[in-house]
Each structure stands twice: as C-alpha cells, then as structure tokens.
Structure 1
Amino acid sequence: MAILGSSYWNLIDVLKSSSDGIGDVVEALTQLTPFMKDANVVNCNSGTEHRSSIRTGLPSVSWGALYQGIAQSKGNYTEVKDTTGFVEGLSSVDERLLNLKPAESAKLRLVEGQGFLEAIAQTVESAIWYSDVKVNGKQFHGMGPRFNSQQNPNVISAGATGSNNTSIWFVTHGDAQTSVIVPDNIPGGIQREDMGRQRVLDANGNPFYVKEEKFTQHVGLCVKDWRYNARICNIDVPTVIAGSIALNPLMRHAYYKLQGRRAYRLEAEGQISPGRTVIYMNRTLLEALDAEGSNSRSGVDNFVRLTPMEIQGEEVLTWRGIPVRETDALLSTETLVS
C-alpha cells in the first residue's frame, strides 16, 4: 500500500509554517494523535459541512457495430453530508506569576497551555474512532459508527463474544478516500488565541488578574470511499495477551479487502490518487504482532515481519510496506460488533 511521502502537505507542515510557536508543541503531541499526523486535510465545501457525491452505480456500456448507435447511460450517485465540531479549552495564568519572569512570560503561558493541548489532542483522537453524531450531536461522525456491522464486507470479525475487545484499522488517507475536514476559512489543527488580561474571581469571590489563552480545534471526518478502509473488530484482548490468537491471518484478510491494494504504485498524472494507507492499533496488539514475527511459536515461521522504515525522517514499523501506528485511543473495552 501507499506509504507516507514528503509530497503530501499534512497538518504538521501547516502548523510548523506558522510563527505562533505552537507548531513544535503540537508536533510532540502527535504521538498521542497519530491519525491527525497522517491525515489528509481538506476544507468543507458547505460552511461547517462537507457534501460528497458517492458513486452507487456504474454506467452501462455495450459492444458497438458499424452503423449502429451508442446506448445512452449514466452513473448513479448519492450525496452524503459530513459535519464538523469543535473542542475548546481556556488557559489562565496569574499575572503576578508572569511578572516574576517577564522575559519568559510567553514560554510560561505556553507551558501552562500544554495541558489543554494534550486534552484536545486526546479528545479529538478518541472522537475519530468512536464519535457518533446520533449519540452526541456536538461531535462529528467517527470511523467506528461507519464500520459497525459485519454486513459491511470490509469489517472482519476476529470471533470474540465478550466485551473486552479492540480493533485494528486500515485507513487510506486521500481526497477520494478518507479526509479530515475543517470548516471553510478556518485553519486546520489547534488554534491558539491570546485573550489578553482578564479580571477573574477566586473561590472566595475576590478579584485578581490573569492572562488568558483560548485553544480551539475544529474537526470533522469524511469517508468518500469506504472500500479503501478495513476494520478488524472483535479481537479479544485477554486472548491476544495469552498468545492464543494470530493477528497476521486477520490482517492478511483485511489487506486483500482494500480497494487500493493493487493500484498504489500506479499513481500518475491524470489519475485519481490511490491515497496512502496506514494501519492503526493499540500497544497491546502491536506487541503481539511483533511477537508473531520473532519465531516465538514452535515450528511456525510463516508470518510477515514488521520492518523498520524511515518515513519523513522518522523510523516507523511497516507491515507489507504499510506504516503501523500505535494509538492509545483504540480501546481494549470495545463492545461486540455484530
């Protein structure tokens, strides 16, 4: 599958090109939000909403003959609307504290704000996988609710029957596949706004002055073609820890479900980009997958090994050439997908 390449302008590139000092901090926080690090970011085409035309049927074609006409036909489409939401946090630092080190006041405020940055990062990463607008209309529709039934051919069950489950995701990032969306005229990523000097009250109702900063991130998700993604669900975590389940056969099954598997090296001018596919799992599964490739099973040596690869200056483990990202946002307490 397509690996991450320097030709893509991702979210970190955008943030580091700004001059507000937040780029380096957010780059460090992408360890908590690997999905956002890989994401293809596009602006909504309808304010805070993004409308996509999804092909539901191909036009018909026919063999031709001399002196015979061509039958008229057209493809069928349906329109899908994806929404965005936003997460906010307000950081306040006592003005008297900043006066102690006036030359480092900006740094002190940013250090204080890191907690808000991390909270936003974790909230957004969790929403990417589990947010459901039917449950909370303030949020956006995440990946989980879109791939929540075994009736979907790209949802593969590992066979668990309890509730201590987790998932492995194959996600293809690209304009024609899966994108993070942000409202029109609003930059992608976390925005930092200096609210200046504010008068606030303590617990006893006595006033004092603080310097405030507001952190905001607008975000949504658009899956334009579900065939480029796959979910391996119902993976029983205790069974994985015990070493009683093999992940490689499940991942191989998901790999051959992906629409872009055969085309990722064929990208050329004038063709639709096949996107870039990334695998996401939590640390428990990543450790188990690594163990499978280390000859730990007696008499068994037929698993694909994780291979280190340098991508954009970072060493990343890959499986069949696909980058593997570790994310703690993928829970080990998922309910059963039926």
Structure 2
Amino acid sequence: MAILGTSYWNLIDVLKAGGDGIGDVVEALTQLTPFMKDANVITCNKGTKHVSSIRTGLPQVSWGALYQGIAQGKGDYTQVEDTTGFVEGLSAVDTRLLALKPAQAAKLRLMEGQGFLESMAQTMESAIWYSNVQLNGKQFHGLAPRYSALANGNVINGGGTGSDNASIWFVTHGDMQTSVITPENIAAGVQRDDKGEQRVMDGAGNPYYVKEELFTQHAGIAVKDWRYNARICNIDVSDVIAGTVNINALLRKAYYRLQGRRSYQMEKPGQVSPGRTVIYMNKTLAEALDAEGTNGRSGADNFIRLSPREIQGEEVQSWRGMPIRETDALLNTETRVS
C-alpha cells in the first residue's frame, strides 16, 4: 500500500519545495553520471538481447610453393549473449493538490519529474558498473562482474586488502569494443509518457484522481572484446588519502594491458572501428591523481602530468590523451577482488 508522504506528495512537500511561489529547488542529490555521455549505443540484434560473435581462433595459413596446393583453414568463433533491463518511475500527483496551486501546476509536475530523471540516471550508472544478472535477473550484466578476478589479464591489483577499496576503469567505447545496447524498436535514453488524469485507489480501496507521468529507460552493456577495457581494483581508499598509493604507476600498468592503446579520438590505421578510450574514477581518486601529478611524488618538480582537453564543448582532464571522467557511481567500499 502506498503511504501518503512516502510514495505520494502531500501539501507539506509542496510547501517545502518553495512555498507559495514554488521557488527553484536546489538539486543537492544530483550526482555525476558521465558514462552515458561517452557511450557508443547500438540496437539489439535479437529483440531485447544482443548476440556478439567473437573470434577465438585464426584460420591456418601456410607457406606456398609452385605446383603445390593451398592448405584449407577456418577461423573459430563463439557467441556471447547480452541482455537488457529497464528502469521505470511513475510520478503521480493528486489533482486536488495541483488545484491548490493552479498557476504552478505544470512547474510542480516538472519539478517532481526531474527528481525521477535524476534517480533513474543514478540507478542506471550504478548498474553499468555493478549490476549482476546472476544476483538479479531483472537487471543487465555490468562491467564489474565481467572483470571480477585477478586471473583476468586486464584486472590489475591495487594492493588493498580491506573493505574500503575503489576501482579505476579504462573503457573503450565502440562497435567492436564496448557498447550500451537498447532493445529493438525502443529509442535510446529516457522515455517520458504523460498519462494525464488517472483514477487510482487509496489504501482503503476508495478512488481519487491523479496526474501521472511514466518514465522508462531500457539499456544493457555489451562487451565484444574484453581486451580493450581494464580495471584497476583493490585500491585502498585510506591509503590513497594518506598519500601512499602511486596512482600513476597503477594507471601505467593498466594502460599497457589495453589492446590497441589510443586516446579518445585517435584511430588505428586499417581498423574498422577504432573506438575511444575513457578513464573513469570517483572524486577521491581523481583528487589524489591531480595532487600526485602536479608536484611529482618526490616534490622535485612542478610538472603537471594531467592536461586539459575539450570534448564536445566540455573541458576535462586527460591522462596520456585519454579523458578522465569522475563518476559518483564508483564506490569507495568495494570488497576485495581476488
């Protein structure tokens, strides 16, 4: 049963949102959710699922000689199936409540709708990193479950052993690398459907009327070639704050694990889809990297190793030409990867 004041707005909520004038709300709960800005988006090739064919073996070739035949060979392939999930939010505001503020009714609905959009963005960003279909079949498979063991050559151990660990990610976005997938016949991004006035029931089964808006977003992740991504895990946050973790050294290790190392806009000649590599970390690690890069670990120079770049009109820090994105969805409380 939905509870007034918990699931639905009441008059007190409206007054808190700005009083008689319905003032602008400070979005103090807004977080940085940058992954979707960089994402390469493709449509599923199997309804709500996307099947990728991955080459696991090259065809055999042989040295030739005059008057001799050519040995036959074939490549080996395997198929990987990725699924999508969807997040929904339903905003319902009592029509009698809107009637009390007729001049601000549209703004009230917009204000509440923006909260749903932010909540969905945070939910989706978190799922991109940590969602696991083996734990929740409604969700899609995120990146952390795919890079969850040190036996993976592209998982680098940061040395942390406690429960206050964080990760840094290198993700290459591209058709042949990592993509956000959306179901067939459904547009990418958040879909808003204004349901208008609806008759609903209260907890006692009595009817009343609300204005409803339905927000929906479908998405999933497909990793076609795992070699183009890397995860630096087990970075002890307390050690980072104490300044005893060499983040540049960890970034260097991850960099040399990447297939086809390149920056955001560099291309590899002859490759159909070069992709673009972006580094993701949370604010704690970004600040530590900035401090480490400004003065050098020995303090003997003032060479700034991070450089600003402009990407789609936005200035971001970059490391070896790859942009660094801060995301609040990457936690400081990850368990140790073994």
Q: What TM-score do the two structures reach when normalised by structure 1?
A: 0.86
Q: For residue 25 of structure 1, what is the aligned residue in structure 2?
A: none
In structure 2, the partner of 1:71 is: 71
Distance 1:254 1:297, change over 3 A: closer
* Matched residue, 1:276: 276
- What is residue 169 of structure 1 aligned with on the other side? 169
Q: Deviations over 1:23-70 (max 9, x none)?
A: xxxxxx996321111111111000011000011111122222222221
Partner of 1:141: 141
SS, match of residue 261 in structure 1: coil
Corresponding residue for 2:235?
A: 235
| Corresponding residue number in structure 2 for 1:182 | 182
2:290 aligns to what SS in structure 1? helix
Q: Distance in 2 between matches of 1:150 and 1:202?
A: 52
| Aligned positions of 1:120-269 closer than 5 A | 120-202=120-202, 207-261=207-261, 265-267=266-268
State the SS of the aligned residue for 1:185: coil
Do the aligned partners of residues 266 and 180 (structure 1) sit closer, same or farther apart at CA in structure 2, a change above 3 Å counting?
closer
* Residue equivalent to 1:62: 62
Q: In the alignment, is the contact (CA less than 8 A) between 2:294 and 2:304 conserved in 1?
A: no
Q: Find the counterpart in structure 2 of residue 21 from structure 1.
A: none
In the alignment, is the contact (CA less than 8 A) between 1:280 and 1:327 conserved in 2? Answer: yes
Structure 1 position 259, deviation (Å): 0.6
In structure 2, relative to structure 1, the CA distance for the partners of 1:249 and 1:290 (3 Å cut) is: same
Distance apart, 1:74 and its partner CA = 1.1
Letter in 1 for 2:113: G
Q: Secondary structure of the equivalent of 2:145?
A: helix
C-alpha contact (below 8 Å) 1:292/1:303 kept by paired residues: no
CA distance in 1, matches of 2:67, 2:250: 53
Larger RCO (alpha carbons 8 Å, 6+ apart): 1
Q: Which runs of 4+ in 1 moved over 6 A?
A: none
The count of aligned residue pairs is: 309
User: Does structure 1 conserve the Cα–Cα contact (< 8 Å) formed by 2:294 and 2:302?
Assistant: no
Q: Is the 8 A contact 2:30 2:118 kept in 1?
A: no
Counterpart amino acid of residue 174 in structure 2: G
Shift of 1:85: 0.7
- Residue deviations 1:74-110 (CA, integer Å, cap 9, x gap): 1111000001111111001222343456566444322
How far off its partner does 1:306 sit?
1.5
Task: Provide the residue aligned with 1:48 in structure 2.
Answer: 48
The one-letter amino acid of 1:265's match is: M
Superposition RMSD on alpha carbons, in Å? 2.2
Partner of 1:96: 96
* Structure 1 unaligned regions, length at least 5: 1-28
Which AA in structure 2 matches 1:33? Answer: T
1:19 maps to what in 2?
Answer: none
Using the TM superposition, give the Cα deviation of residue 111 of structure 1 relative to its aligned residue in structure 2, in angstroms. 1.4
Measured against aligned partners, the alpha-carbon deviations of 1:228-264 in whole angstroms (never above 9, x if no partner) come to 0000000000000000111001001111111121697
* Aligned counterparts of 1:253 and 1:72: Cα–Cα separation in 2: 40
Q: Which structure's CA Rg is the greater one?
A: 2
Q: Which moved more, 1:193-202 or 1:142-151?
A: 193-202
Once residues 203 and 305 of structure 1 are traced to their aligned partners in structure 2, the CA distance between those partners, rounded to angstroms, is 60
Query: In structure 1, what is the Cα distance between the partners aligned to 2:53 and 2:104?
Result: 51
Equivalent residue letter for 1:329:
A
Q: What displacement does 1:199 show?
A: 2.1
Change (3 A) 1:136 1:195: same
Letter aligned with residue 187 of structure 1: A
**Contact 1:61 1:73 (C-alpha < 8 Å) held by counterparts:** yes
CA distance in 2, matches of 1:152, 1:48: 28
Deviates more, 1:99-108 or 1:234-243: 99-108
Q: 1:253 to 1:296 in 2, by over 3 A?
A: closer
Matches of 2:240 and 2:177, distance apart in 1: 31
TM-fit CA distance, 1:293: 1.2
Q: 1:327/1:266 Cα in 2 relative to 1: closer, same or farther (>3 Å)?
A: closer
Aligned partners of 1:41 and 1:49: how far apart in 2? 14
Q: 1:43–1:181: 8 Å Cα contact kept in structure 2?
A: yes
Query: What percent identity do the matched residue pairs reach?
Result: 73
